[in-house]
Amino acid sequence: MEDPLFRSNEQLVALIRASIDEADNMLQLWQQNQRFVKMMAVKFTCRAELDDLMQEGYIALCEAVRHYDPEKGVVFITYAAFWIRQGMQRYIENCGNVVRIPTHAREWMHKYKRMEAEYRKYYGTTPTDQVLCALLGISQEKLKSIRESIGMGQICSLNEPLGDEEGELTVEDSVGSGEELEGDIIGRLDYQGMKKQLWEAVDSLPGIQSDVIRCRFLDSKTLQEIGEKYNLSREVARSYQDKAMRELRKPSRSRKFRGYYEEYIAAASIHHIGLESFRRTWTSEVERDAIGIW
């Protein structure tokens, strides 16, 4: 039986924003999400005390309440996660002045190191880039991005000099802000992840729908050209394309790759990144259409 006193995160946020029992409702919101905040904080405990991170998480949760817009269609906890992560990372950055490597990138760094070590142990030699890409299921560009992350992770401080001479440039002088670094790494890795999930969904489409989508968006063929290839009229070719796009937008197929978009938009609302920026960053037309953002 549902607890009549229970309120969803979104309901509590609405009450707090309306100045209705703010303290009590904020306390309930915190209690409902404390375990989630702790789960995020644990990832950073190698660089800060858990209690301090939890305090930053509470402050970030309050900020998320202030800025949350339910009209964006993002659930509150997804939106709040970016405020919480950002708050904890800024706390670490301000206290330790250490180069930040995002969790997503660190996971790939771990996979890369483990695979390289296992290969070296088994074969007695270092795997080539081609072998690593095949074993990890990644592109050369992604492999380069992972290695860049590893290089940044080996730097202890932004004040670390790049040379031995006095007055040399520091790491901080030579790279963008931690936020820019994180955005660049996450952007590249997230894009590859979304792309892989999306095209797996395309390949699972029934009949010739998969071929039509690949011809249309990978080979840049017109509907007329697709029709000629499959002995179809232009209108029938279009109907196959439309059916395929409707299939891709179904929750059963889109829930995996759409999550990348929702996370990006939640972050965008924090960093004031508009839809045009999203369009420039996530460039494939089929990727945008399948996600269904316009």
Q: For 217-262, write each residue's pLDDT tens digit.
A: 878 888 899 999 999 999 999 999 889 888 887 777 766 655 555 4
Q: What is the pLDDT of residues 24-73, one digit of tens each?
A: 999 999 999 999 999 999 888 877 788 889 999 999 999 999 999 988 88
The most confident of the ranges 25-29, 87-91, 152-156, 248-252 is 25-29
- pLDDT score at 184: 44
Yes or no: say if 186 and 104 are a contact pair by the CB < 8 Å rule.
yes
Which residue, of 67, 96, 125, is where some domain finishes? 96
Which residue is associated with the tokens 């996530």? 282
Q: How confident is the model at residue 125 (pLDDT cuts 50, 70, 90)?
A: confident
The DSSP bridge partners found for residue 161 are 170
Yes or no: say if 192 and 139 are a contact pair by the CB < 8 Å rule.
yes
- Tell me if 2 is assigned to some domain: no
- pLDDT score at 255: 63
Which residue, of 175, 192, 220, is where some domain finishes? 175
Backbone dihedral angles phi then psi of residue 161, each to the nearest 5 degrees: -70, 150
- Tell me if 40 is assigned to some domain: yes
Which residue, of 132, 147, 175, is where some domain finishes? 175
- Tell me if 3 is assigned to some domain: no
The most confident of the ranges 67-71, 178-182, 279-283 is 67-71
Yes or no: say if 104 and 190 are a contact pair by the CB < 8 Å rule.
yes
- Tell me if 200 is assigned to some domain: yes
- pLDDT score at 97: 42
- pLDDT score at 28: 92
Task: List the one residue out of 145, 175, 146 whose CA is nearest residue 158.
Answer: 175
In the chain, the number of structural domains is: 3
- Tell me if 39 is assigned to some domain: yes
The mean pLDDT value for 211-221 works out to 85
- pLDDT score at 120: 82
Provide the residue range defining the domain that includes 157: 103-175
The DSSP bridge partners found for residue 170 are 161
Q: How confident is the model at residue 162 (pLDDT cuts 50, 70, 90)?
A: very low
Measured CA to CA, the distance from residue 168 to residue 219 in angstroms comes to 49
Q: Are residues 65 and 149 in the same domain?
A: no
